[in-house]
Amino acid sequence: RKEVEQDPGPFNVPEGATVAFNCTYSNSASQSFFWYRQDCRKEPKLLMSVYSSGNEDGRFTAQLNRASQYISLLIRDSKLSDSATYLCVVNTIDSGTYKYIFGTGTRLKVLA
């Protein structure tokens, strides 16, 4: 089982749609969770951290379910500029060392 698993997509959605991505992680000792965004041929950039109580930043909402070991990202009112790959990142402990573990990413295409 992969440490961090995401549906690679692509998710093709029309402008204005709501889209949700899920991510599962295998290590129950994982400490913190993030969503990063990566545009084509660019570096990943932090989109938002994911807090236990869930958190919202404008059109973006992140949720964490520790019992089921998954996190989610909801994007409302999709814009063309939201087209990118969304990377799920988990900060987990491995052999006594904390590491950032990345998923393969979910590709989103917002269509006009």
Partner 1 sequence: ETGVTQTPRHLVMGMTNKKSLKCEQHLGHNAMYWYKQSAKKPLELMFVYNFKEQTENNSVPSRFSPECPNSSHLFLHLHTLQPEDSALYLCASSRNLAGVSGELFFGEGSRLTVL
Binding site for partner 1 (CB under 8 A): 2, 4, 8, 31-32, 34, 36, 42-46, 49, 87, 89, 91, 93, 97-105
Nearest residue to 86 via CA among 37, 42, 34 = 37
- Output 18 or 100, the one with its CB closest to partner 1: 100
Encoded tokens for 10? 């692509």
CB 100, min distance to partner 1, A? 5
CB 70, min distance to partner 1, A? 16
Nearest residue to 23 via CA among 8, 5, 11 = 5
CB 23, min distance to partner 1, A? 11
